């Protein structure tokens, strides 16, 4: 019996990613089109929240980029309505007037990302690329507490979740010195990544608990992972265990164990934070940054 096998053509058309830009400012549309335009994307525009909602209800988009301050329906209200109608749709919130309340609302309503205008090409490109390639489920982040001074979350052990949340928490400390802001954000990401990768073994069935607290004189992050913990005396794959004069000794061990390059997390965290405290078991860590 002869079988006809249909081979995919090398010139087969790949489905384009559909992006909807929602903003009442013409210049923002022009800027984002210039920054994001590529052959594998179709970019559409809406100039108020109500127009955007009509488009979302009528068509499927891979990503919606929405401003907050708009007529008829603001961006946060639009986010809520998109979540109700299209829970799988990725939404990134943009604003020229960022506040902790807006960041918290965006986390609570499961926005994929949040960015303050003006933003660089690199920043918006990274956020958009992350959203378009992410395999993020609506329940990957469970919000326990959502107040500007106290945010508590449960996160599935997926590295993409750490990347996504880092941008939100970077925005929450936008009022501190830029160098300190980048440092504490890097330290936060390292600790969260370690919790997901080593404590939770990147198993999405496992959960990490995260709490952010902001007081008048300090910022604190508390992270608890589901792992068995660790001892500083038994971390040969981490730079913190290197012998004097051998700054990359741990890299050879990581290579033999088949681990990704890295291992500088604990050292970096200690450099960027004022205090880093671990529980006796080692599966809980607290990062503290004092405000001057």
Could you write out the DSSP letters of every residue in 161-179? HHHHHHHHHHHHTTTS-HH
Q: What is the DSSP letter of 6?
A: -
Cα distance between residue 171 and residue 119, in whole Å: 12
% the chain with pLDDT above 70: 80
**Are 149 and 36 within one domain?**
no
pLDDT at 243: 57
**Are 160 and 198 within one domain?**
yes
Cα distance between residue 170 and residue 185, in whole Å: 6
Q: Which two three-digit tokens encode residue 26?
A: 């013409």
Mean pLDDT computed over 228-243: 57
Judge if the upstream peptide bond of residue 37 is cis by omega within 30 degrees of 0.
no
Say whether pLDDT at 2 is over 60: no
**Are 217 and 161 within one domain?**
yes
Cα distance between residue 212 and residue 282, in whole Å: 19
Q: Count Cβ atoms below 10 Å from residue 270 Cβ, excluding itself.
A: 14
Q: What is the DSSP letter of 2?
A: -
**Are 158 and 281 within one domain?**
yes
Which of residues 101, 134, 167 is at a domain's end? 134
pLDDT at 250: 45
* Sheet arrangement for strand 17-22: 41-46, 17-22, 63-67, 90-95, 113-116
pTM: 0.78
In a domain, 6, yes or no: no
**Are 125 and 158 within one domain?**
no
Enclosing domain of residue 92: 15-134
**Are 170 and 270 within one domain?**
yes
Mean pLDDT computed over 100-114: 91
**Are 101 and 245 within one domain?**
no
**Are 194 and 166 within one domain?**
yes
Angle, helices 178-194/159-172, rounded to nearest 10 degrees: 150
DSSP H stretches of helix in the chain: 26-36, 49-58, 75-85, 100-108, 121-133, 159-172, 178-194, 249-257, 265-272
**Are 271 and 156 within one domain?**
yes
Could you tell me the pLDDT band of residue 263, with boundaries at 50, 70 and 90? very low
**Are 198 and 130 within one domain?**
no
Mean pLDDT computed over 126-148: 85
Which of residues 106, 134, 162 is at a domain's end? 134
Could you tell me the pLDDT band of residue 186, with boundaries at 50, 70 and 90? confident
In a domain, 33, yes or no: yes
Q: Per the structure, how many domains does the chain have?
A: 2
In a domain, 7, yes or no: no
In a domain, 154, yes or no: yes
Residues 9-66 have pLDDT tens digits of 555 456 889 999 999 999 999 999 999 999 999 999 999 999 999 999 999 999 999 9
**Are 106 and 219 within one domain?**
no
**Are 142 and 121 within one domain?**
no
């Amino acid at each position: 019996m002869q079988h006809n096998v249909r081979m995919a053509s090398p010139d087969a058309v790949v489905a384009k990613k559909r992006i909807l830009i929602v903003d009442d400012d013409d210049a923002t549309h022009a800027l984002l089109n210039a920054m994001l335009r590529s052959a594998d994307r179709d970019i559409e525009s809406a100039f108020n929240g109500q127009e955007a909602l009509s488009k979302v209800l009528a068509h499927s988009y891979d990503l919606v980029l929405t401003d907050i301050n708009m007529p008829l329906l603001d961006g946060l209200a639009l986010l809520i309505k998109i979540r109700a109608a299209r829970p799988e749709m990725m939404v990134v919130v943009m604003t020229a007037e960022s506040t902790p309340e807006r960041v918290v609302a965006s986390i609570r309503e499961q926005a994929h990302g949040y960015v303050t205008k003006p933003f660089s090409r690199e920043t918006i490109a990274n956020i958009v690329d992350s959203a378009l390639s992410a395999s993020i489920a609506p329940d990957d982040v469970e919000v326990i507490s959502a107040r500007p001074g106290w945010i508590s979350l449960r996160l599935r052990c997926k590295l993409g979740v750490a990347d996504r949340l880092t941008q939100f928490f970077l925005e929450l400390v936008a009022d501190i010195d830029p160098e300190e802001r980048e440092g504490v954000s890097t330290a936060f990401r390292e600790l969260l990544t370690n919790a997901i990768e080593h404590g939770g073994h990147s198993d999405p069935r496992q959960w990490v608990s995260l709490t952010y607290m902001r007081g008048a004189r300090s910022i604190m992050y508390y992270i608890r992972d589901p792992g068995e913990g660790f001892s500083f005396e038994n971390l040969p794959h981490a730079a913190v265990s290197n012998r004097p004069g051998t700054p990359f000794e741990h890299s050879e061990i990581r290579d033999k164990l088949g681990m990704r390059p890295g291992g500088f997390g604990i050292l970096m965290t200690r450099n960027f934070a004022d205090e880093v405290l671990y529980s006796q078991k080692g599966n809980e860590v607290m990062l503290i940054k004092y405000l001057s």
